[in-house]
């Protein structure tokens, strides 16, 4: 294992970056796969006392934060042989890496992040109009309606698990609403989303067969939904091929996947952990967006995002060689004490939380509005329908996971 120990003044990786980049609710293929799932290898093996720390160390999936502190302090750039990538953990380095065009999403994959610049920008331009104006207003109405239905179904109950009965459903409903798909198909779409829909034109075969007739109908009679925007969009005078439309729709349906429901679960857990802050957002709903962003900073659903260096990349802590995989430790960056005061604390009044969840720069995901909208509508609905919402005895279950992380259950009392 190669390490570049504690540089005194680690500058960010050179390249464009932006403060407080937008977040993305989808899990692209550049997010590291869990060990043993076909992603980067982890094989801790026999380690000596002087070996640098590794993500493959026992117990890291249960509590990665001690390791993150060691990496930020002493190993801001280190090659983790067990994990198969260079690790970067400080806020400035991670922010710059996520925005650096020399660090690209690694193959295999055909997500938006993998497209060539001109094609990527063209597809981004096609998606953006669907998330503003009348289309955004219609989307908000649909997501609000879904959130209130789910929340009010719980209002006669005494207790519930908000993950199983709310968080796992609402993001899928939001994605179905955005695309204008039949709501009776939400359960089926949710299962596809949970399986991971990340590749342009390479989606699930059943999903492809499901979407193509809807694309044909939208071409003939478009509406105001996102699928209509994609189905009727033209590039070089021609409609996008069906496979491209289906692939883009599948990418957006990833909003119903694990990462989004884990982010929503962590958001609710953080507020339940802090009743005074929960009361504050109840009294001042204008603070809900800040509460969401602060939760993404402190507890992102995706802790590790992968990049691959096209050329040698010089950082303040050392040089990443060309062709190397780079693990951007978003979970470590969000709690960097050189960037955030008392970084482990959840504080909805924190100035400029600057979270990096799910990407930056060219890799910023277009679903940020959908994710934020889903979270805001979720909290509004729960606060209205469940005014006595609180933890069940025993409190918050521990989060777990090395790559994606969040509470698997949220046992709450409702009455």
pLDDT tens, position by position, 79-120: 999 999 999 999 999 999 988 999 988 875 444 444 444 444
DSSP SS3 for 109: coil
Kindly tell me the burial class for residue 280, based on how many C-beta atoms sit within 10 Å of its own C-beta (0-12, 13-18, 19 or more). Answer: middle
pLDDT at res. 230 = 81
Distance, in Å, from the CA atom of 283 to the CA atom of 280, rounded to the nearest integer, reads 5
pLDDT at res. 236 = 73
Do the beta carbons of residue 72 and residue 54 sit within 8 Å? no
pLDDT at res. 31 = 54
**315 Cβ neighbours under 8 A, 6+ residues apart:** 10, 11, 12, 13, 14, 77, 88, 93, 96
pLDDT at res. 62 = 93
Q: How far is CA 301 from CA 207, 210, 369, in A?
A: 25, 29, 17
Distance, in Å, from the CA atom of 371 to the CA atom of 264, rounded to the nearest integer, reads 9
Do the beta carbons of residue 233 and residue 263 sit within 8 Å? no
Which residues of the chain have a pLDDT value below 50?
5-30, 33-40, 42, 44-45, 109-120, 198-203, 358, 360-364
Q: What is the residue-wise DSSP string for 328-362? A: EEHHHHTT-TTTSSSTTS--TT-S-----TT--GG
Distance, in Å, from the CA atom of 137 to the CA atom of 146, rounded to the nearest integer, reads 14
Give pLDDT tens digits for 119-163: 445 555 555 555 566 667 777 887 898 899 999 999 989 999 999
pLDDT at res. 282 = 95
Instruction: State the first-to-last Cα distance of the chain, in angstroms, to the nearest integer.
Output: 54
Do the beta carbons of residue 80 and residue 98 sit within 8 Å? no
Helix H or strand E segment including 160: strand 159-161
Instruction: Give the closest residue to 399 by CA, choosing from 389, 413, 409.
Output: 409
Distance, in Å, from the CA atom of 78 to the CA atom of 93, rounded to the nearest integer, reads 13
Distance, in Å, from the CA atom of 155 to the CA atom of 98, rounded to the nearest integer, reads 42
Q: What's the alpha-carbon Rg for the chain, to the nearest Å? A: 21
pLDDT at res. 35 = 40
Do the beta carbons of residue 129 and residue 379 sit within 8 Å? no
pLDDT at res. 415 = 85
């Amino acid at each position: 294992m190669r390490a570049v120990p504690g540089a005194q003044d680690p500058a960010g990786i050179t390249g464009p970056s932006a403060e407080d980049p937008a977040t993305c609710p989808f899990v692209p293929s550049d997010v590291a796969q869990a060990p043993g799932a076909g992603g980067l290898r982890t094989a801790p093996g026999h380690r000596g006392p002087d070996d640098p720390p590794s993500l493959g160390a026992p117990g890291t999936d249960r509590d990665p934060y001690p390791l993150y502190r060691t990496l930020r302090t002493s190993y801001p750039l280190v090659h983790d042989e067990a994990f198969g990538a260079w690790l970067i953990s400080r806020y400035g380095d991670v922010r710059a890496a996520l925005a650096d065009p020399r660090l690209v999403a690694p193959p295999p994959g055909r997500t938006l992040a993998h497209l060539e610049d001109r094609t990527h920008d063209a597809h981004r331009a096609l998606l953006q109009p669907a998330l503003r104006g009348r289309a955004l207003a219609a989307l908000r109405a649909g997501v609000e309606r879904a959130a209130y239905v789910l929340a009010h179904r719980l209002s006669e109950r005494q207790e519930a698990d908000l993950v199983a009965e709310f968080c796992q459903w609402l993001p899928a409903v939001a994605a179905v609403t955005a695309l204008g798909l039949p709501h009776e198909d939400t359960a089926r779409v949710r299962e596809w989303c949970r399986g991971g829909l990340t590749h342009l034109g390479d989606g699930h075969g059943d999903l492809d067969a499901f979407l193509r007739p809807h694309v044909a109908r939208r071409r003939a009679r478009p509406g105001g939904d996102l699928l209509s925007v994609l189905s009727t969009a033209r590039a070089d005078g021609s409609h996008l091929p069906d496979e491209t439309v289906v692939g883009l729709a599948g990418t957006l349906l990833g909003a119903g996947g694990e990462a989004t429901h884990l982010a929503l679960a962590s958001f609710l857990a953080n507020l339940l952990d802090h009743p005074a802050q929960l009361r504050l957002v109840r009294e001042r709903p204008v603070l809900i967006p800040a509460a969401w962003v602060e939760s993404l900073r402190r507890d992102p659903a995706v802790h590790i995002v992968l990049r691959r260096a096209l050329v040698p990349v010089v950082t303040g802590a050392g040089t990443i060689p060309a062709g190397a995989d780079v693990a951007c430790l978003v979970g470590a960056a969000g709690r960097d004490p050189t960037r955030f005061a008392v970084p482990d604390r959840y504080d909805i009044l924190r100035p400029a939380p600057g979270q990096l969840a799910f990407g930056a720069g060219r890799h910023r995901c277009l679903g940020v509005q959908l994710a934020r909208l889903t979270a805001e509508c979720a909290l509004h609905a729960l606060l209205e329908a469940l005014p006595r919402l609180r933890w069940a005895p025993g409190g918050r279950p521990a989060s777990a996971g090395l790559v994606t992380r969040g509470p698997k259950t949220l046992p709450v009392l409702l009455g």
